[in-house]
Amino acid sequence: MTTIPSPLFDVRGRVALVTGSSRGIGSVLARGLAQAGARVAINGRDPQAVADTCAMLEKSGCDVCAAAFDVTSPDGVAAGIDRIEEWVGPIDILVNNAGIQRRAHFTEFTDQDWTDLLASNLTSAFLVGRRVAASMERRGSGKVINIGSVQSMLGRPGIAAYAATKGAIAMLTKGMCADLAPRGIQVNSIAPGYFATELTQALVDDPEFSRWVQQRTPAGRWGRVEDLVGALLFLASPASDFVNGQVIYVDGGMTAVV
Ligand code: NDP
């Protein structure tokens, strides 16, 4: 008889790294994995914010460790991941989540903002992904989840550079799948719609824009960060072992309708 693994979305005992998990979406994704039994490394550039998030999660019984490093720095990434591996062993689940936003009209966009966006949102996923996937390849298994955006599919004024990084994340996901699937690794992406976090604070504070999000989203509301956890547990667990190179939009239907 066919055996369906039980529990299906099992991540117990798995080691996970969620980049950019000191606040916002990353902190809730980290909590979702930890509550499901994974041991999770919490990351961000600010060591105090990382320590505070770890303390908060530990209070609710989560197994977490602090891994403060800058995901745009090749040396920082290498040292940070070495430390995690020394602490709990090799990483089974990588969530490339760290990212920033900069808004400006296209012709007024500065060189510095362009460089920062590419480094934070795209090069980071390459640097961390390459280092972690090399170790996953040696073990013949692993799950990589890259956090994209509906902005990889929809143009909006003022965020051409951000959209370019998220479009690239979708293609990085497919390219990584092509190289890594034969080595037993699944690489997929979650593309969130609009969620209220520090990154979108200016939009949340703009009543007209906030109304537009509600009207443009068939579900009629902004995303709640916990809405992303189900898709994450699916992609991080054996339930998705034959799902590879896919982008899952968690957006209340925004990209499904015009
Ligand atoms: P936040 O600004 O709330 O959090 C960003 C996190 O990333 C923080 O923990 C921040 O910590 C960390 N971070 C930023 N740069 C670096 C770096 N160089 N090295 C290490 N950590 C870093 O953003 P969100 O939670 O909203 O966004 C998370 C991800 O989700 C991003 O990739 C974003 O593009 C994506 N997303 C968000 C949406 C939304 O509506 N909020 C919609 C679609 C996608 P610190 O600053 O201390 O380093």
Q: What is the pLDDT of residues 53-104, one digit of tens each?
A: 999 999 999 999 999 999 999 999 999 999 999 999 999 999 999 999 999 9
- Note the pLDDT tens digit of each residue in 192-251: 999 999 999 999 999 999 999 999 999 999 999 999 999 999 999 999 999 999 999 999
Ligand 1 pocket mutation pick from 199, 200, 210, 227 by most atoms within 8 angstroms of CB:
199
**pLDDT in the model for residue 6:** 82
- Is 99 near ligand 1, meaning CB less than 6 Å away? yes
Average model confidence (pLDDT) for the chain? 97
Residue 258 lies in a domain: no
Q: Tokens representing 182?
A: 């034969």
**Residues 119-169: tens digit of each pLDDT:** 999 999 999 999 999 999 999 999 999 999 999 999 999 999 999 999 999
Q: Is the CB of 88 under 6 A from ligand 1?
A: no
Whether 10 is in a domain gets the answer no
Residue nearest to atom 12 of ligand 1 (CA): 20
- 162 in catalytic set: yes
For residue 4, tell me if it sits in a domain: no
The residue range of the domain holding 142 is 15-249
Q: Which of 122, 132, 162, 227 is catalytic?
A: 162
Our answer on whether the CB atom of 197 is closer than 6 Å to any ligand 1 atom is: yes
Q: Give the pTM.
A: 0.98
DSSP assignments along 163-205, one per residue: HHHHHHHHHHHHHHHHHHGGGTEEEEEEEE--B-SGGGHHHHT
Q: Which residue from 123, 151, 163, 165 is spatially nearest to 19, judged by alpha carbons?
A: 123
Region of 21 (left: φ > 0; alpha: ψ -120 to 50; beta: rest) is alpha
Q: Is the CB of 252 under 6 A from ligand 1?
A: no
pLDDT at 202: 92
pLDDT (average), residues 11-16: 98
Write the ipTM. Answer: 0.99
Does the structure show a pLDDT above 90 at 4? Answer: no
pLDDT in the model for residue 173? 98
129 closest CA partner among 88, 89, 101, 169:
169
Indicate the burial class of 17 (C-beta count within 10 angstroms; 0-12, 13-18, 19 or more). Answer: buried
Kindly state whether residue 82 falls inside one of the protein's structural domains: yes
Res 7: pLDDT: 83
pLDDT of residue 8: 87
Q: What is the pLDDT of residue 191?
A: 98
Q: Is pLDDT above 90 for 3?
A: no
Domain containing residue 244: CATH number: 3.40.50.720
Backbone φ and ψ of 88, nearest 5°: -130, -5
Q: Tokens 């808004």 sit at which residue? A: 103
Is 3 among the domain residues? no
Q: How many domains does the chain have?
A: 1
What's the CA-to-centroid distance between 243 and ligand 1, angstroms? 25
Q: Which residues are within 8 A (CB) of 229 and not within 5 positions of it... i.e. 6 or more apart?
A: 28, 29, 32
Residue 138: which H helix or E strand, with range? helix 124-139
Give me ligand 1 centre to Cα 24, in Å: 7
Structure tokens at 246: 């896919």
For residue 147, being part of any structural domain is answered with yes
80 CB under 6 A from ligand 1? no
Residue at 192 is within a domain? yes
Does some domain include residue 21?
Answer: yes
Q: How confident is the model at residue 5 (pLDDT cuts 50, 70, 90)?
A: confident
DSSP 223: B
Handedness of CA 61, 63, 67, 71 (dihedral sign): negative
Cα 99 to middle of ligand 1, angstroms: 4
Q: What is the pLDDT of residue 149?
A: 98
Question: Are 255 and 154 in contact, with CB atoms under 8 Å apart?
Answer: yes
Exposure string over 160-170, b if 16+ CB within 10 A, otherwise e: bbbbbbbbbbb
Assess whether the C-beta atom of 200 lies below 6 angstroms from ligand 1. yes
Which residue has the CA at smallest separation from atom 41 of ligand 1?
A: 195
Which residue puts its alpha carbon closest to atom 16 of ligand 1?
98
pLDDT (mean) for 172-190: 98
* Cβ(123) – ligand 1 distance below 6 Å: no
Whole-number Å distance between alpha carbons of 28 and 22: 9
CB 115 within 8 A of CB 157: no
Query: How far, in Å, from the CA of 182 to the mean position of ligand 1?
Result: 31
